Amino acid sequence: MSDIAGELARVREAFDKPTLRLLDRKWAPFVLAVFKSSFSREHRSVSCEALHTQVDAYLADLRSIGLDAPEKTGRALCVQWMNDLWLYREISDAGEEHYSLTSHALEALLLVDGLARDRALISESRLTTIVDTVRHRATEANPDREARVRRLDQQIHELSSERDRLSDGGDIEPASNEQMHEGYANLINLIQQLPSDFKRVEESVAAMHRQIVNDFRGEERPISEVLDDYLAKTDALMSSTAEGRAFEGAFTLLRNDALLQGLKADLETILLHPFALELSRTERRSFMSTVTLIRKGIDDVLTQRKGLTTTLREHIVNHDVVKDRELERVLRDVNRELATWMQTAGPRSTVTAELMPGTLDVEHLPERFYDPVAHRAPPALADVSGAAPAAPSLDALRQQGGPLLQELRDALVVAFGTGEAASIGSAFNGLDASLRRPVEILGLLQLAAQLSPGTAGLESFETVRPDGSVRFFEVPRLILTDDDTAALAAQNLGSEND
């Protein structure tokens, strides 16, 4: 029978993984372009608000040049990508939320970069790496002592012959630019896989600890057995998964500082070759940061393991001990009540016990208790009438009030009737000080507005304030005719009849 059904099931399982789901979506090019533009080896995490703003800006740029883009906001897209397991949100020590790419997103980016690369990776460098790796693993896998010794002797002979040739002045054949480019492409392909490998180990550690927490919360065994089982799982954590075992092997090798220093020196030597002049500044800087990338990946995995282990142990110690003590206290109270009840209960007596207490039917509960102080009368007011100032007179109150319209009308009628005033200003300046307050100017203007007199420039009004100070004002020069004076007199007669 054909194996197509089994292969189809395996392919479907692969397409159900977040990596291929990302590549299979309509907006996959946009999503990968955003990840490529927002994250880098130097910026492995981005603030949530900053990424929301960046995605909104990318959407606006694409729409401005007429390209199709999702209709959602940056925040909605980031939340969707997080639910699809392409983004991971975490809270830093400062309390700020940051996004970082998951291993699935990193694998998708790596796959797209590999497909977009022009230089083919099937080269002498790649094949040499494969042959050397196979030879090394075959030597370790062969249990035959003599076969292993022959291999080592062959390697020693080859290396000794090359050393002697160079010591005798033999020519050193420099590597061509083409060979260095091929080796560089091979190294870059391997180095670019490191971030996703480290992130996969972090996710494996987090998933293992979450599983331990769930198992622990559902345990019905004594606390001591659960604690022993938890510690045993923690000790075997890195050897129970493929990612953990791979990391343990790499960690044993890479925690050698001398090895990392040698790796850094070798990277510098590679960049001293003339072929490096054809690399961009970004490519050279990224190549030289390989050691930093390795150290950062190891530190992230160890920090994840240490932080989660500490959290789980604190959860076990604090939560479960308190719960056990509460349970012990409740059981002791139950035994005490049973002993009291058995003193009077018969052989077949039963008692109904509710598992949960019932609810009280209360319409309203007071929010605060009665306070007699709140209903105490306030203290009597003190009698300070002896310190009160003298009451002002009626004339003093009138001096602080508005204009005296009736007195002003009488004064204007007399001044213009006798011919002593050429204008309202001259009539005002000849009045008694009690009628030359600044507010009286407003009264004169009100009376003049009712008559519509002629104007001719400005004239000065000399006013006297209630405190005796003098103030000058420039007011339009208003001239009253005989008809205006008669109208004022008529208004006075009308007010007196009223």
- In terms of domains, do 199 and 314 share one? yes
Is the pLDDT at 375 greater than 60, yes or no?
yes
385 domain-assigned? no
- In terms of domains, do 110 and 197 share one? no
Final residue belonging to a domain, choices 70, 93, 114: 114
Q: Give the count of beta carbons closer than 10 Å to the beta carbon of residue 23.
A: 16
Final residue belonging to a domain, choices 49, 84, 114: 114
Count how many domains the chain has.
3
154 domain-assigned? no
Final residue belonging to a domain, choices 300, 321, 342: 321
Interval 97-126 mean pLDDT: 71
Is the pLDDT at 497 greater than 50, yes or no?
no
b/e map of 27-42 (b: 16 or more CB within 10 Å)? eeebbbebbeebbebe
3-state secondary structure (DSSP) of residue 90: strand
The residue with tokens 């790419």 is 101
Interval 409-419 mean pLDDT: 80
What pLDDT shows up at residue 498? Answer: 47
238 domain-assigned? yes
Interval 5-32 mean pLDDT: 79
> Cβ contacts of residue 105 below 8 Å, gap of 6+?
18, 19, 22, 35, 86, 87
Which of 24-28, 186-190, 384-388 is predicted with the least confidence, judged by mean pLDDT? 186-190
Please answer whether residues 48 and 97 qualify as being in contact, where contact means their C-beta atoms are separated by less than 8 angstroms.
yes
More confident: 237 or 160: 160
Q: What share of the chain is helix, strand, coil (3-state, %, to 5)?
A: 65, 5, 30
Cα 51 off chain centre by? 10
Cα 369 off chain centre by? 44
335 domain-assigned? no
409 domain-assigned? yes
Cα separation of the two ends of the chain: 125
Domain range for residue 480? 402-497
CATH of the domain at 66: 1.10.10
Q: What angle do helix axes 242-254 and 194-217 make, rounded to 10 degrees? A: 120
346 domain-assigned? no
- Tokens representing residue 26 in the block: 């309509």
Q: What are phi and psi of 97, to 5 degrees?
A: -90, 135
What pLDDT shows up at residue 93? Answer: 67
More confident: 279 or 185: 279
Question: pLDDT band for position 395 (50/70/90)?
Answer: confident
pLDDT in tens, 445-476: 888 877 776 677 888 888 888 888 899 998 88
Question: pLDDT band for position 13 (50/70/90)?
Answer: confident
Is the pLDDT at 495 greater than 60, yes or no?
no
b/e map of 187-205 (b: 16 or more CB within 10 Å)? bbbebbebbbbbbbbbbbb
Please answer whether residues 190 and 133 qualify as being in contact, where contact means their C-beta atoms are separated by less than 8 angstroms.
no
- In terms of domains, do 199 and 110 share one? no
Q: Is the pTM of this model over 0.75?
A: no
30 domain-assigned? yes
What pLDDT shows up at residue 347? Answer: 74
Interval 128-134 mean pLDDT: 69
Q: What angle do helix axes 28-38 and 103-116 make, rounded to 10 degrees? A: 100
pLDDT in tens, 257-309: 777 788 788 878 888 888 888 888 888 887 788 777 777 777 777 777 776 67
434 domain-assigned? yes
Q: What percent of the chain has pLDDT over 70?
A: 80
Q: Give the DSSP H or E segment for 398.
A: helix 394-399
